[in-house]
Amino acid sequence: MYLSGFIMLAMGAHYFLDGALGLAAEFGWKDGFAGFLLAAVGTSLPELFTSLIALKRGRAQAVLGNVVGSNAFNLLFTGGIVGLLAHQEFSDETSLFMLFVNLGATLLLIAPLLLLKLRIPTPRSIHALVGLMMLTGYLMVIKYAYIL
């Protein structure tokens, strides 16, 4: 059962990537932008719904664990595997851009996490403001990634 699941997952990933790259080609987008927007959003939607369900159930720690854990896995484990197997060079400009995107996202998370850690009571508006800043930041990153 597990083997068939892994086989289906590999096949699904193949079709998903072909679809994302095909759609990008239709719009004249570069492969990197297709991966940054289409593939990233498509593979992150299950995490979004998992987080929303956990939030609805009052499990904020599960939300944080899901988001941070997923990013750590993608950056470190997936990045490590790709680094071991890659036979292609990544452009310096793209690599630097991705580094700053991840650094910026991490910096945006520091303030609310420190408030939680220090148990400083914060109004709901602070959390909404941080969320709005993150969404705005993502839209700005998409715009810049398109230009790259």
Determine contact, residues 79/87, Cβ cutoff 8 Å: no
Confidence of residue 104 (pLDDT cuts 50, 70, 90): confident
CA distance between the termini of the chain: 43
Q: What is the pLDDT of residues 3-35, one digit of tens each?
A: 999 999 999 999 999 999 999 999 999 888 888
Question: Would the pLDDT of 120 be above 80?
Answer: no
CA dihedral of residues 73, 77, 79, 85 (deg, nearest 10): -150
Computed over every residue of the chain, the mean pLDDT equals 85
> Which structure tokens are listed for 59?
């499990």
